[in-house]
Amino acid sequence: MRRGLFVGRFQPFHNGHLEAIRAVLGECEECVIAVGSSQKSHETDNLFTLGERIEMIYETLRAEGLAQRAIIVGIPDINNNSLWVAHLKALSPSFDAVYSNNALVKQLFAEAGIKVKPLKLVKREDYDGTAIRKSMGKTKEWEKHVPPKVKEFVARIDGVERLRQIAEGDKI
Amino acid sequence: MRRGLFVGRFQPFHNGHLEAIRAVLGECEECVIAVGSSQKSHETDNLFTLGERIEMIYETLRAEGLAQRAIIVGIPDINNNSLWVAHLKALSPSFDAVYSNNALVKQLFAEAGIKVKPLKLVKREDYDGTAIRKSMGKTKEWEKHVPPKVKEFVARIDGVERLRQIAEGDKI
Amino acid sequence: MRRGLFVGRFQPFHNGHLEAIRAVLGECEECVIAVGSSQKSHETDNLFTLGERIEMIYETLRAEGLAQRAIIVGIPDINNNSLWVAHLKALSPSFDAVYSNNALVKQLFAEAGIKVKPLKLVKREDYDGTAIRKSMGKTKEWEKHVPPKVKEFVARIDGVERLRQIAEGDKI
Amino acid sequence: MRRGLFVGRFQPFHNGHLEAIRAVLGECEECVIAVGSSQKSHETDNLFTLGERIEMIYETLRAEGLAQRAIIVGIPDINNNSLWVAHLKALSPSFDAVYSNNALVKQLFAEAGIKVKPLKLVKREDYDGTAIRKSMGKTKEWEKHVPPKVKEFVARIDGVERLRQIAEGDKI
Amino acid sequence: MRRGLFVGRFQPFHNGHLEAIRAVLGECEECVIAVGSSQKSHETDNLFTLGERIEMIYETLRAEGLAQRAIIVGIPDINNNSLWVAHLKALSPSFDAVYSNNALVKQLFAEAGIKVKPLKLVKREDYDGTAIRKSMGKTKEWEKHVPPKVKEFVARIDGVERLRQIAEGDKI
Amino acid sequence: MRRGLFVGRFQPFHNGHLEAIRAVLGECEECVIAVGSSQKSHETDNLFTLGERIEMIYETLRAEGLAQRAIIVGIPDINNNSLWVAHLKALSPSFDAVYSNNALVKQLFAEAGIKVKPLKLVKREDYDGTAIRKSMGKTKEWEKHVPPKVKEFVARIDGVERLRQIAEGDKI
């Protein structure tokens, strides 16, 4: 197949995401990486801006020799599920398959007549973004679950300090 | 009175709503049915699109011989309570009375100088939208609390399967 | 065919619109009347609120004995053409055909795989909304081009005075 | 009367505005100054941010000994005329009279049952914001039509240079 | 310092806020009072409109002889933390220092290169807006924690009755 | 320098854009291509969706061997110039220089303390997007001013037919 689409929030980009992209690239020539909730940042569950997420994904894919087969696009929340498939299609290069384990993504594409392929995950603990975020700022455990370039990037922008600060309260 | 306004989300349209519309039409010539949160769908608490809700209400009212005395209008959330009455008035034909048991609706109209009339409900269990949604996808209990045309419509669009899918998670 | 969709702004509802609805109802059982730019009002080109437009359409259709075969829905501008078809479909009951002479509407539906049927218009001058609006507030010429119920409605809400006032400037 | 409301865009605040505020304060104890299109800036017709406009108004009113009788509020465009009066009322302290020569403002308040008082202007050329903006960046003519504190403020933030730059094009 | 900025929601304005403004005015000539979530009202946690909040703050500051050293500005939620500092700067006169104990405000300004000063609070119970709101509508305890003008204002607009009504449900 | 940012709307991507990217890559290791008005499409001046523009840019850069040094990001209009720089920074990987000839872009970055570098253009006629769009649908002249991959892409999605259709009217 020519192009597969993979949807996630990538807060942060972790080993599970990288494994999933490899799986997509096993079946497709190119992978479109759709970064959801792209307008969110500086929240405990959405720590990084879209630009920061693009940077950490891109640097990792380069280091892995996969950059030339990937296209990253940002997808802001539209808060209207009936528009979401059209919204994503307008923001992305055309694609031939969608890969996701998200229940709502599967249902919305199914109603649009597009079958979503499941992602087979190997190391479950690498796929738990919530656990990775919880560990950040407390222990160094999280560093095992992200690619080296992500670890470097988070250090460069002082991401752990950001998380520690807003852990006290992420509402104004 | 000429026109009464009745506000609800109609997720789904159930027997309690139908009984309420009959009560409004006992006092008014016409009933404006204002469908709130009209932009929402494919959520466990907001399963159907506005178009789908209009379709199930309209088909029921026709079957009951009430369609010519009803006007259905969609009211998207405006997320700004101080604008809500003006917002509703701009989207609806003029009306002479408002019928609602919703505390916020009552307060907002009261501050705009419009008295809201309460709806006297007979069969309480028919009015519990939350319970009806919970039952859908598990048992057939919910079918007793909706008009026949709603049951048919939900089957036609495979609504129960939609609910089952997104019950696993209705966030992207 | 079961349901035909007819899109317009209806500023105001005129004889041309009524003739078009009759034409749709000659081919379909029901006509969905989609009222575009529904959020606009009090502009020289968009004089009436959605509620006012619904009221004048509905009263005319009743007087003509067509109300029970029509469903009126409001379509706010979305300012994003790639989403417009999905937006309209979410706000409307399902339909089997679209009727429009609007170039953009035709193109957007064509890209979504839906063929738009043209409307054959008989009395050209009845179809010129811009000319009708220009005449309002200056002469009584416009009254010939709208159904009696629209004339009555405009008088009831003092619509000509509204137009005269804002003709001096419709920006704040 | 207790409080009068005066609506304008104040791009920039000029002698005509100051004279109008004096006129309002001749009839009312306090004047609410509602700054419209508050979200706009860096356009040839909307040069200054809301914060900059508040600063130039406030410094002028202080220099004139009027600050303690004025309250400045920002009113973003809502792009929905049927909501504008409710929008303004939610953003402003309560008021007993509205002063404006704007045709749309007069009509919207009239429909809400509030009579708008006209502003009697003496020196016409002081009231022509468009002419003042045109002069800025070309000649020093504009400086005669604004209070001294506005002239100082524009110099401090290099406002004339901003205008000169974007005069070449104020779209991205 | 010339101008200090103080950010809060002021639901309602209480003695703790007044003490904080005095503290800012001990270090700065003027205090900009930035009223956050300005678009919200008629919610149990956001009871008053921006206009109402401006009115209660302004009347208190006048009674205290502080009005001429304060500027009140409204800051609507932008739901995009990466834009919040730019958003606030566009809506406010320029300022030389920010005062806040809010974790997210501190982090966002820190990333923008602006150090936030903490507010030293004396009487802790005067600073607990949540407790004050909880007491309203139940006891008269809350009246001890707000300035006299706020108590008067809340009575004038029947604010306690508003809270009691929507305590039953503040969603439509 | 590490990363240069280049802003445009790319409707369509033409030889002038490609030459500009080469110029940026002559001074920087990487080029961020920021695609403005990303939410627009199906207008005579904004013909292609963001996804379509990404596709034509990406395919051209690959054919030219430049893809691995470019990152494409979409920038929706924010309609608030005071937020635009923060908006762009949140959506883009970090950059060390900005390249643009747009007057407003230059002014907004200048006020944010970032100097914008001009783009030196060689073949003027290759840079005239407006002329290229005007030619499309009438003659084949435009094909000379775009890279081969753009010509192929436009043919593949039937872009000339889209333009011809909406040339009759691009408003609903």
Interface contact flag, F92 A54, Cβ < 8 Å: yes
Task: Give the chain C residue whose CA is nearest to the CA of A91.
Answer: C82
The partner residues of E73 in beta bridges, in order of sequence, read: E34
* Structural domain harbouring F93: 3-167
Q: What is the largest CA-CA distance in chain B?
A: 47
Instruction: Give B83's contacts in chain D (Cβ within 8 Å).
Output: 83, 86-87, 90
Residue A172 lies in a domain: no
Tell me the per-residue pLDDT of E50-89, one tens digit each, with 9 for 90 and over. 999 999 999 999 999 999 999 999 999 999 999 999 999 9
- Subunits with 3+ C-beta pairs closer than 8 A to B: A, C, D, E
Condensed to tens digits (0 to 9), the pLDDT of residues B82-121 reads 999 999 999 999 999 999 999 999 999 999 999 899 988 7
D135 CA to chain B: closest CA distance, Å?
39
Contact criterion met (CB < 8 Å) for C80 and A90: yes
Please list every residue in chain A whose beta carbon sits closer than 8 Å to the beta carbon of residue C82.
86, 89-90
CA distance E29 to F157: 63
Instruction: Please tell me the distance from the alpha carbon of residue E101 to that of residue E120, in angstroms, as a whole number.
Output: 9
Query: pLDDT band at residue A124, thresholds of 50, 70 and 90?
Result: low
Q: Name which of B49, B166, B170 is nearest A82 (Cβ-Cβ).
A: B49
Give the predicted TM-score (pTM) of the model: 0.96
Residue entry with tokens 């209480």: E14
Q: What is the pLDDT of residue E97?
A: 95
Mutation site for B-interface testing, chosen from D82, D88, D94, D109 by largest number of B Cβ within 10 Å: D82
Residue F172 forms part of a structural domain = no
Regarding chains F and B, contact by 3 or more CB pairs under 8 A is answered as: no
Helix %, strand %, coil % for chain B, to 5? 50, 15, 35
- pLDDT mean over A115-130: 80
Subunits that touch chain F (at least 3 Cβ pairs < 8 angstroms)? A, C, D, E
> How far does the CA of residue F33 sit from the closest CA of chain C (Å)?
22
In a mutational test of the E interface, the residue from F73, F80, F81, F83 whose CB has the highest number of chain E CBs within 10 Å is: F83
pLDDT of residue D129: 86
Q: Do D82 and C165 touch (CB under 8 A)?
A: no
What ranges in chain D are assigned the alpha helix state H?
15-27, 50-63, 84-91, 103-111, 129-135, 148-156, 159-167
Q: In what order do the strands lie in the sheet with C3-8?
A: C70-75, C30-36, C3-8, C97-99, C116-117
Residue C121 pLDDT > 80, yes or no? no
Token code pair at residue F1: 């320098």
pLDDT at B124 over 70: no
Residues of chain A positioned with their CB less than 8 A from the CB of B172? 7, 36-37, 77, 84, 102, 104-105
Q: Which residues of A touch C90 (CB under 8 A)?
A: 80, 82-83
Chain B to chain C, count of Cβ pairs less than 8 Å apart? 61
Chains B and A touch (3+ CB pairs under 8 A): yes
In a domain, E172, yes or no: no
Tens of pLDDT, residue by residue over A5-40, are 999 999 999 999 999 999 999 999 999 999 999 999
pLDDT at A128: 82
- Residue A25: exposed, middle, or buried by beta-carbon count in 10 A (0-12, 13-18, 19+)? middle
Report in angstroms the alpha-carbon separations of A34 from A17, C83, D62, E156, F90: 12, 18, 53, 53, 16
F 132-171 residues with CB < 8 A to D = none
- Say yes or no to pLDDT of A125 above 80: no
The complex's ipTM works out to 0.95
Looking at residue B28, what is its pLDDT? Answer: 97
- Mean pLDDT, all residues of chain B: 94
Alpha-carbon distance of F60 to F148, in angstroms, equals 8
Residue that is written with structure tokens 């436009």 in the block: F154
Distance in angstroms (rounded) separating the CA atoms of residues B33 and B14: 13
Contact residues, C window 79-118, toward B, CB-based 8 Å cutoff: 89-94
What per-residue confidence (pLDDT) applies to D137? Answer: 83
Q: Report pLDDT for C47.
A: 97
Hey, are the CB atoms on A83 and C82 less than 8 Å from each other? Answer: no
Burial class of residue C159, CB neighbours in 10 A (0-12, 13-18, 19+): buried
Is residue B3 within 8 A of residue B30, CB to CB? The reply is: yes
What is the b/e burial string over D24-42, where b = at least 16 CB atoms within 10 angstroms of the residue's CB? bbeebebbbbbbbbbbbbb
Region of D94 on the Ramachandran plot (φ > 0 left; ψ -120 to 50 alpha; else beta): beta
Q: What is the CA radius of gyration of chain E?
A: 16
| Element (DSSP H or E) covering residue D99 | strand D97-99
CA distance D64 to chain E (A): 13
To the nearest whole Å, the CA of C112 is away from the closest chain A CA by 10
What is the percentage of chain D residues whose pLDDT exceeds 90? 85
Nearest CA in chain B to E49: B82
Domain count, chain D: 1
Q: How far is A50 from chain E (nearest CA, A)?
A: 10
The CATH number of the domain holding residue F150 is 3.40.50.620
Judged by CB atoms closer than 8 Å, whether chains meet at C54 and B71 is answered as yes
Q: Give the model's pLDDT for residue D80.
A: 97
Residue A150: predicted pLDDT? 98
Cβ-in-10-Å burial (0-12, 13-18, 19+) of F26 comes to exposed
Closest residue of chain D to B82, computed from CA coordinates: D90
Across the interface, whether the CB atoms of B42 and A108 are under 8 A apart is answered: yes
With CB atoms and an 8 Å threshold, state whether D49 touches E73. Answer: no
Considering only the beta carbons, identify the residue of D39, D40, D170 that sits closest to F104. Answer: D170
| Residue A42 resides in a domain | yes
- State which residue of chain F sits closest to C36, comparing Cα positions: F172
In chain D, residues with a C-beta closer than 8 Å to the C-beta of B82 are 86, 89-90
Q: Is the pLDDT of residue C122 over 90?
A: no
Going through chain C in order, the beta strands assigned E by DSSP cover: 3-8, 30-36, 70-75, 97-99, 116-117
Closest residue in C to A87 (Cα–Cα): C83
With H, G, I as helix, E, B as strand and everything else as coil, classify residue F19. helix
Q: What is the pLDDT at residue A1?
A: 86
pLDDT, residue E124, reads 67
Is C120 within the bounds of a domain? yes
Q: How far apart are CA A111 and CA A128, in angstroms?
A: 28
Q: Which residue of D has its CA nearest to B87?
A: D83
**Residue B170 forms part of a structural domain:** no
Mean of pLDDT values over B147-171: 96
Residue A99 placed within a domain? yes
The whole-angstrom separation of Cα A71 and Cα F71 is 9
- Which whole number is the average pLDDT over D1-18? 95
pLDDT band of residue C129 (cuts 50, 70, 90) is: confident
In a domain, C172, yes or no: no
Tell me which residue in B81, B82, B103 faces E165 most closely, judged by beta carbons: B103
Chains in contact with C, where contact requires at least 3 CB pairs less than 8 Å apart:
A, B, D, F
Name the pLDDT band for A172 (thresholds 50, 70, 90). Answer: confident
The residue type found at B4 is: G
For residue E159, give how far its alpha carbon lies from the nearest alpha carbon of chain F (Å).
Answer: 35
The amino acid present at A114, given as its one-letter code, is I
Residue D1 has pLDDT above 70, yes or no: yes
Question: Could you tell me which residue, B123 or F63, shows the higher pLDDT?
Answer: F63
Residues of F in contact with C77 (CB under 8 A): 172
- pLDDT above 70 covers a percentage of chain E that reads 98
Residue D35: what pLDDT? 98
- What does the pLDDT look like over E136-161, one tens digit per residue? 988 899 999 999 999 999 999 999 99
Q: Give pLDDT < 50 ranges for chain F.
A: none
Measured between CA atoms, the residue of chain C closest to residue B157 is C94
Cβ distance of E111 and A162 shorter than 8 Å: yes
CA distance D102 to B4: 35
CA distance B137 to B159: 9
Residues in chain B: 172
Pairing of strands E3-8, E97-99: parallel
Contacts of B104 in chain E (CB under 8 A): 42, 165-166, 169-172
DSSP C84-110: HHHHHHHHS---SEEE---HHHHHHHH
Pairing mode, if any, of strands B70-75 and B97-99? Answer: unpaired
Cβ pairs D/E, distance under 8 A: 60
- What 3-state DSSP class applies to D30? strand
